Structure 1
Amino acid sequence: MVDVRYTTAFELYPYARASDQDEAAPQRHPVVIVGGGPVGMAMALDLGRKGTPVLVLDDHAGVGQGSRAICFARRTLEITDRLGCEQRMLDKGVVWNVGRVFHGEEEVFNFNLSPATGLRNPAFVNLQQPYFEKFLVEQIRKEQERGAPIQIRGCNQLTGLSDLGEHVLLDIDTPEGPYQLEADWLVACDGARSKVRDLLGLDFEGRVFEDNFLIADVKMSAPFPTERWFWFEPPFKNSGQSALLHKQPDDIWRIDFQLGWEIDRQKELEPERIRARVDAMLGDGVDYELEWTSIYTFQCRRMEKFRHGAVMFAGDSAHQVSPFGARGANSGIQDTDNLAWKLDLVIKGLAPESLLDSYSEERVHGANENILNSTRATDFLTPKSAISKRFRNAVLQLAQKHEFARPLVNSGRLSLPCVYDNLSLNGPDLLDGPLQTRVGACCIDATLKQGFLLDQLGNRFTLMGIDAELPDSLQLEGLDIHCLSLSCDDDSSDGLRQRYLGDQASGVYLVRPDQHVVARWKHYDPALTSAALRIAIGKG
């Protein structure tokens, strides 16, 4: 929970009266999204680009202040590239790959998150959440000019919800009074305090951690490198059990201090008390301004399932994790990437409604993985006993000299895309290829003569052959399957061979619109491809 007063930084969609408010009966929309944060806007942008009409309802008129989420992973950049706004994130954001871990005054070790070649995107880019939301909305405006059926209604607050079986009825309040809407499908992207979840009488399951963390966004010109610095038992005065330093755009630096559980939150938010902590960290003579401060506790929890009839939950409305590891906003964007293509196919009559159950199956799987990593990080950061602390410190001492111990150090396992191992939409894995691109994994980029691999895959079903014969075109189950024929000779960095073939001479991959692998074989087989596609769209 965050102590912060919400004000509008970018008023991008001020209230305007909609024609629905003048109708005698509630008007029906195919998809309504509640919540105009990054998850809701990414969902709307993805659906709208596919031609599916979508309406976003947000109770504000734009983007709020405060950096909140700041760390966006390579997978999020790959997704936003397909949505059309990745380059703006890279141009504005602070790119980083290196992290350093300290124990007291001593550096334990450092790491490079992006040692591989042939990848277009960095491991992470730091960018304040308001900018990310702004770029998404501005891209929506561009898509609207091209005819994309996306509407955004600011200052439209959800006050009531009735599940009528085949659709839902929404009660909306506005500055000009209430009105009602109907939605075939409702996507709840309205955050940790989800109104949709409350109106349906649903709740989370999981843990609330007894600890408090102080965020201070500090504006300063400082000589620190563009890296992630994390301290266990930091040496500076009144800094708590751990501390974190990150650079953001506009000369803003994010500082986190772990304060413990029994604190006076109001007292800790006093500017002079915050300044005392920051002064101790930065040292004498550093001139800075406090831009934004808050105190939060965090939870590692999720809903039991993310689909309830015609209502789907995504982002913080469905699951919550600690901020260590950058898993909140990044996992929310992966939710939308998973749901959008499935909902689009269902609405267009190309897949059965049961396909949407796989959204809950796969993203609950992803949430469990994030919660596990987040919980382990928290337990390592905050040992619950003297023995646990002794073990933690022994690991840190070993890691300073011995590489084998470094994977045991957990200052927040940084966000990686989830692999959907052994889930219902997976087809056969008959290639005996590299583990990193097995069935259920998302594809890894590679540099080709014609550009980057992920660009060639796009946001569609693709049959990718590497040194294998494919048909020129393919239509299955009413879908045009993109056929992509590649050769290892097209890749000077040898990424295709290392990441997709291994010891095999050739390989064929069926890839979903969210770029997860459906199935793979040594050679193209029409019957096997058709069967795998049916599995992937919920007909298998």
Structure 2
Amino acid sequence: MDLPRYPYHQTLEQRSGLPQRRPVVIVGAGPVGLTLALDLAKRDVPVVVIDDSDRIGEGSRAVCWAKKTLEVFDRLGVGEAVAREGVRWHRGRVFHGEREAYAFDLLPESDHKMPAMVNLQQDQVEARLVRAVQLEQRIELRGRHELIGLEQHADSVTLTVRTPDGLFDMRADWVIGCDGARSPTRTLLGLRFAGQIFEDRFLIADVRLDAGARPRGLDPDRPERWFWFDPPFHRGQSVLLHAQADGLWRIDFQLGRDADVEAERDPERIRARVAAMLDTDRFELAWSSIYQFSCRRAERLRVGRVLLAGDAAHQVSPFGARGANSGVQDADNLGWKLAAVVKGEGDDVLLDSYEFERLEAADDNIGHSTRATDFISPKSALSLRLRKAALDLAAHTAFARPLVNSGRLSLPTEHVDSPLSTPDAEPWSAGPSPGCPAPDAPLEGGWLSEQFGQFLLLCFGWPAPAVGVRAITLPADGVAAARYGARPGSVHLIRPDGVVAARWHRFDADALRMALARAHGRLS
């Protein structure tokens, strides 16, 4: 795939020296910033996206895109292409030494539009997003615009930007920093980025097998996630393998804390590691990188009129595919709230709810990532013995399998304490409670997830006389009813980001009005 670029050009405000005030400026043209820009544009909010580069980053980097993220992409017009071009999978296998410890299935039930996971290299996902942005008239994407200063005012923000033609100022009502782990936006806000930096180093190798090669039983027609603890080809460490698009395979080798980084970068040394793992030298080394990772987050996600999202807000380990996925979910959470504030449809406290919910999600993801890292890299002989015992038991007993942690794969966080949610007035025996993700289900001629993006009232068994919100009627005995724990007469209010805001066993117009007001930040 030819990757699009967004070359620098001098703008009118540079030539005139008079800043043009914009509703929203997004700093960073990665997956998170581009997703947020598309979301806002579809809500009729003009956006300028600036980036210090003018092209998509090199290498596969983020690879695994989770079901929730795919549903967000689908609403923005790129989900079907990502799912079509990537490698779909839902099954994983965990090995200990030379034997399999256990296998798992991320999506054992049918009747979902999107698969559990799709593996597609980040540069190809970004290419899809950039092309969608370049076709959107409400978005201006500016390359080689480096943020070097921020000044907040009562009703706006001034951004000082460095370009090939020198410095100039931009003006915005709101600024969103989606500019990565070294975020200049976060630095200019003076926010601490606190957490744990792990000493272990890991090697990424993207390889392409020669035609006809079938090493170690890999089957390109049945892609799975394979994770080894203490494999015979890499004793004392761990290895992760994923299939990617275009015939590539992603392999992550744990190198340990004392690895000689320069020596490990040697292509011949990398080839030797890969050959030992695949039991063949019939492959091409397409890309490689050595990394350390952190589990940390910013102390705040909002300072006045400036907000943070994605890696600018939080970092996690790559085990569990929680980095890029949680960043896209930040954008999904923020887009409708910021649009409502810009258009006067919601109160400013909606943006405080973004900080509340996405800090909760960041802490959730950091917790999962830290536990996975501690299991993958035991820090003591006792921890190593406990890990071996859990892996040995997992091969024979189901109760031990939850103890094995090769990375809990990305799922959206449940915001059960969200200030936007209306608590249940009556007991429910099943289904997602307020603050939890709304599950997908088939509709006649489509899918429920395709209807998200606006406030939506699901009416089970009969059409409720709702005012001020779109309502759709669903069978009281279908797949959707089962997934929502509904009975005839039940109603569910769904937020634009696919989160349950409220639910009742019977329709009540006053209760719906109150729930909508709360979900717009107008009730505490």
The TM-score with structure 2 as length reference comes to 0.96
Partners of 2:86 and 2:119 within 8 A in 1 = yes
SS in 2 for 1:376: helix
1:371 is aligned to 366
1:213 is aligned to 202
Q: Following superposition, which runs of at least 4 residues in structure 1 exceed 4 angstroms of deviation? A: none
Gaps of 5+ in 2: none
1: distance between equivalents of 2:124 and 2:458? 35
2:249 is aligned to 253
Partners of 1:240 and 1:259 within 8 A in 2 = no
1:73 to 60, 66, 74: 66
Quote how far apart the aligned CAs of 1:436 are. 4.5
2: distance between equivalents of 1:414 and 1:315? 17
User: How many residues are matched?
Assistant: 515
1:495 is aligned to 479
Matched letter for residue 42 of structure 2: R
2:509 is aligned to 526
Spell out the pairing of 1:43-192 with structure 2 (5 A cutoff). 43-144=36-137, 149-192=138-181
Gaps of 5+ in 1: 1-7, 476-480
2: distance between equivalents of 1:435 and 1:64? 44
SS in 1 for 2:40: helix
1: distance between equivalents of 2:59 and 2:175? 28
Quote how far apart the aligned CAs of 1:423 are. 1.9
2:418 is aligned to 423
Quote how far apart the aligned CAs of 1:178 are. 1.8
Partners of 1:431 and 1:520 within 8 A in 2 = no
Partners of 2:226 and 2:240 within 8 A in 1 = yes
Partners of 2:133 and 2:141 within 8 A in 1 = no
Matched, 1:338 2:338: no
Matched letter for residue 121 of structure 2: Q
2:452 is aligned to 458
Structure 1 residues 218-227 or 82-91, which shifts more? 218-227
2: distance between equivalents of 1:296 and 1:435? 43
Change beyond 3 A, Cα 1:375–1:434: farther
Change beyond 3 A, Cα 1:434–1:189: farther
1:228 to 215, 225, 229: 225
Matched letter for residue 227 of structure 2: F
1:357 is aligned to 352
Matched letter for residue 107 of structure 1: E
- Calculate the aligned-residue CA RMSD, in Å: 1.5
SS in 2 for 1:229: strand
Matched letter for residue 249 of structure 2: W
Structure 1 residues 59-68 or 313-322, which shifts more? 59-68
Matched letter for residue 220 of structure 1: L
Partners of 2:430 and 2:485 within 8 A in 1 = no
The TM-score with structure 1 as length reference comes to 0.93
SS in 1 for 2:231: coil
2: distance between equivalents of 1:461 and 1:184? 25
2: distance between equivalents of 1:176 and 1:101? 54
Partners of 2:316 and 2:322 within 8 A in 1 = yes
Partners of 1:99 and 1:111 within 8 A in 2 = yes
Partners of 2:134 and 2:141 within 8 A in 1 = no
2: distance between equivalents of 1:452 and 1:459? 13
2: distance between equivalents of 1:435 and 1:191? 39
2: distance between equivalents of 1:57 and 1:241? 41
1: distance between equivalents of 2:2 and 2:253? 25
2: distance between equivalents of 1:435 and 1:380? 33
2: distance between equivalents of 1:84 and 1:143? 11
Partners of 2:92 and 2:104 within 8 A in 1 = yes
Of all paired residues, the percent bearing the same amino acid is 50
Partners of 1:434 and 1:499 within 8 A in 2 = no
Structure 1 residues 349-358 or 306-315, which shifts more? 349-358
Partners of 2:191 and 2:300 within 8 A in 1 = no
Matched letter for residue 283 of structure 1: D
